[in-house]
């Protein structure tokens, strides 16, 4: 770490910092510059205590980290791209996967119709929320276990793999029975207890970026999963919260490229949440493919105008079909194969 002292710090003040650096387990290396002294603290930042607490000293101006804070998720920790096997569907590498389905599971009819429709049009994984994190307690909260039963039915009928969100540590076990991928939503992106519990399930986990999460924090959330023994992790960019109000979130496509550079894990893009508007989903799917995403998570509903949640961002079957068709040349340009 680098400790920058204020200009005009006295020699005893500098010595104090040097001693604290040593006490906290680093080898101090002072550099006396033109105007300010800097103390380089040599040591492994991931083993020793952080020196950021030295900011509490009045003579310290700033403390800067040198090393990256994540290890297992970083590209250096793996030999090439990780390919996550979702019960036979391989996510990552040259493959491109489409996960599609309704925001919420609303009924057997609704889910089965959607499952058949998205399967026919190119999806290999079915999404559908049984437990829904809703901003208001008065909104539809999902069908719960009945939703899981319907998802399982759809899996058996169509052969599609299932992804569904888990909201509670207590639900991990039974959600893991119905699901092939556990989804951790943006609101739980730093619910570390839930992350640890999902890690222990040994199911593949799709980890959404929190709506206010810096890329470093997103990587560290994934690190929680790997450090707790689960390396079948899919990262998912779903838009961040900014000042812009035209869209519900600002889809950060650069973050996809960055996550691919920083990490060996596959990266999925959720354009539905990413913009919150059905009319933009199609074009954002192209953008996602072009910047190197490994797959998409798309909300599809038989009749979006009457959906029980987030109808405004769900596309209907025909739009979904067009979307997949029009995506093909971009997948080809990106050297990807739809699985």
Positions in 190-209 near a copy of itself (CB under 8 A): 190-194
Segment contacting a copy of itself by CB under 8 A, of 57-65, 85-93, 115-123, 144-152: 57-65
Minimum CB distance to a copy of itself smaller for 71 or for 116: 71
- From the list 51-59, 82-90, 109-117, 149-157, the region that binds a copy of itself by CB under 8 A is 51-59
The minimum distance between CB 339 and a copy of itself, in angstroms, equals 19
Burial readout 13-52 (b: 16 or more C-beta within 10 A, e: otherwise): bbebbbebbeebebebeeeeeeeebbbbbebebeeeeebe
CA torsion sign for 165, 169, 171, 175 is: positive
| Separation between Cα atoms, residue 262 and residue 267, nearest integer Å | 11
Segment near a copy of itself (CB under 8 A); pick from 29-37, 84-92, 122-130, 200-208: 29-37
Q: How far is the CB of 142 from a copy of itself (least distance, A)?
A: 11
What gap in Å lies between CA 172 and CA 154, rounded to an integer? 20
Cα radius of gyration rounded to whole Å, the chain? 23
Tokens of 229: 């023994």
Q: Is 160 in the site for a copy of itself (CB under 8 A)?
A: no
Using CB under 8 A, pick the residue from 106, 237, 252, 294 that binds a copy of itself: 252
Quick one: 109 or 279, whose CB is closer to a copy of itself? 279
Contact mark string toward a copy of itself, 79..108, x via CB under 8 A: ------------------------------
Q: Which of 13, 43, 90, 200 binds a copy of itself (CB under 8 A)?
A: 43
Phi-psi region of 198 (alpha: psi -120 to 50; beta: other; left: phi over 0): alpha
158 vs 164 by CB, closer to a copy of itself: 164
Neighbouring residues of 8: CB distance < 8 A, sequence distance ≥ 6: none
Strands (E) across 199-275 are located at 205-208, 233-237, 267-269
174 is an interface residue for a copy of itself by CB under 8 A:
no
User: Does position 10 bind a copy of itself by CB under 8 A?
Assistant: no
Q: How far is the CB of 157 from a copy of itself (least distance, A)?
A: 27
One of 112, 277, 321, 338 touching a copy of itself (CB under 8 A) = 277
CB of 88 to a copy of itself, least distance (A): 29
Among 11, 12, 156, 246, binds a copy of itself (CB under 8 A): 246
From CA 312, how far away is CA 315, in angstroms rounded? 8
Q: How far is the CB of 63 from a copy of itself (least distance, A)?
A: 8
- Check residue 298 for interaction with a copy of itself (CB under 8 A): no
- CA angle at residue 326 from 322 to 332, to 5 degrees? 145
Closest CB 27 distance from a copy of itself, rounded Å: 9
Task: Write the CB contacts of 135 (distance below 8 Å, at least 6 apart in sequence).
Answer: none
Q: How does strand 181-184 pair with strand 89-91?
A: unpaired
Cα distance between residue 165 and residue 297, in whole Å: 12
């Amino acid at each position: 770490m680098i400790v920058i002292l204020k200009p005009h710090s006295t020699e005893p003040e500098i010595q104090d910092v040097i001693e604290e650096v040593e006490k906290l387990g680093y080898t101090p290396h002072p550099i006396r510059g033109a105007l300010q002294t800097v103390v380089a603290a040599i040591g492994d930042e991931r083993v020793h205590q952080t020196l950021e607490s030295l900011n509490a000293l009045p003579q310290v101006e700033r403390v800067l980290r040198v090393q990256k804070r994540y290890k297992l998720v970083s590209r250096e920790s793996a030999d090439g791209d990780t390919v996550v096997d979702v019960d036979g569907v391989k996510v990552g590498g040259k493959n491109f996967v489409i996960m599609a389905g309704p925001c919420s599971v609303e009924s057997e009819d609704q889910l089965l119709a959607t499952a058949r429709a998205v399967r026919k049009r190119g999806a290999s994984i079915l999404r559908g929320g049984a437990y829904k994190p809703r901003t208001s307690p008065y909104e539809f909260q999902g069908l719960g276990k009945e939703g899981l039963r319907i998802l399982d039915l759809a899996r058996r009928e169509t052969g599609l793999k299932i992804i569904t969100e888990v909201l509670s540590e207590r639900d991990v076990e039974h959600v893991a029975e119905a699901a092939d991928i556990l989804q951790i939503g943006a609101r739980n992106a730093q619910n570390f207890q839930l992350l640890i519990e999902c890690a222990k399930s040994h199911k593949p986990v799709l980890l959404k970026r929190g709506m206010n999460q810096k890329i470093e924090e997103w990587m560290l959330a994934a690190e929680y999963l790997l450090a707790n023994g689960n390396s079948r992790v899919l990262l998912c960019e779903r838009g961040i919260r900014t000042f812009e109000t035209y869209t519900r979130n600002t889809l950060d496509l650069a973050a996809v490229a960055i996550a691919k550079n920083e990490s060996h894990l596959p990266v999925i893009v959720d354009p539905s949440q990413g913009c919150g508007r059905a009319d933009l989903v199609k074009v954002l799917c192209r953008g996602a493919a072009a910047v190197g995403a490994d797959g998409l998570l798309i909300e599809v509903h038989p009749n979006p105008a009457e959906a029980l949640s987030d109808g405004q961002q769900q596309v209907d079957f025909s739009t979904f079909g067009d979307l997949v068709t029009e995506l093909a040349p971009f997948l080809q340009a990106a050297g990807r194969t739809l699985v």
